[in-house]
Amino acid sequence: VPVFLFVAAPYIRRYVAGGRCKSTARLEGKVVIITGANTGIGKETARDLAQRGKCSARVIIACRDIAKAEAAASEIRAETGNQQVIVKKLDLADTKSIREFAEKFLAEEKELHILINNAGVMLCPYSKTADGFEMHLGVNHLGHFLLTFLLLERLKQSAPARIVNVSSLAHHGGRIRFHDLHGEKSYNRGLAYCHSKLANVLFTRELARRLQGKFQRQAGFTANVLHPGSVYSELVRHSFVMTWLWNIFSFFLKTPCEGAQTSIYCAVAEELDSVTGQYFSDCQPAYVSPRGRDDETAKKLWSVSCELLGIQWD
């Protein structure tokens, strides 16, 4: 058995790594925002996009932890030579912080070509955001919903532009429990994560539908969603058991670089210029759960999200 594993190991790793983004697209003059890019797949996505072209993209790392973000940005700048890797404060668990980030961005930047809604929380003990939203729903869905709303016009003005939402295979286990969105009647942190990832899929579906039309077709303004794979990262830090399992089975998990490939693919691949509202995994279209294809639920979630955030988004 040890000999077999030794021989098979490279093939196992190649299978686990999954698809790779083969696009050589350059991003000179482009402006990119990546939330939660101080670690994990977000950091690797930022690293890749920062080095696409001699006059590379301006990559904005939007994070809650400024110290970690500055360390990540410094590392990426040194490695890529791109001095336009910038850190901005963004706490997705606080709508005040989201609005302040958007206000400062719109005052400082005249264009925005790629928005990657990457940040997320997983398996949190029951808690609420500053605005009283259940933490998974508040950060993973509502925070990014509001951020996208606030930046949408700048994206339209900069088209062609792309919105990339990071979801998960876990969306298959999710339901949108409109009668108990904030888990006040019953709460399971694993299911809460699944529910929020389903919300990502439904948000993307409804956003793409609303963007469709003459403008979207002409300008190449798209919104897609993805599953990065099972990645060895800090995302499971709230669960001792999952952290233990992640460490034991790390050989069978994607590295953050491997996990970032589909995010990168959705952000830059030329063949996706006019593809919108799709779900990807391993750099190719993937199966979406029936709940993730429910247009009525998607429309209702959109309406409820607007109501919770106090916005009008028609």
H-type alpha helices, the chain: 2-17, 40-50, 66-80, 95-108, 135-136, 144-157, 189-211, 214-219, 240-248, 256-259, 261-268, 295-309
Q: Which two tokens stand for residue 101?
A: 């980030």
Active site residue 232: no
Buried b (16+ CB within 10 A) or exposed e, 268-289: bbeebeebbbbbbbbbeeeebb
Q: How far apart are CA 121 and CA 82, in angstroms?
A: 29
Euclidean distance between CA atoms 136 and 81, whole angstroms: 36
For 205, the token pair is: 């579906």
Set 11, 15, 187, 193: catalytic member? 193
- C-beta atoms surrounding 76 within 10 Å: 23
Q: What kind and span of H or E run contains 134?
A: none
Instruction: Lay out the sheet containing 161-166: strands in order across.
Output: 85-89, 58-63, 31-35, 114-117, 161-166, 221-227, 279-281, 284-285
Whole-angstrom Cα Rg for the chain: 19
Contact by Cβ (8 Å): 263, 116 = yes
Catalytic residues: 193
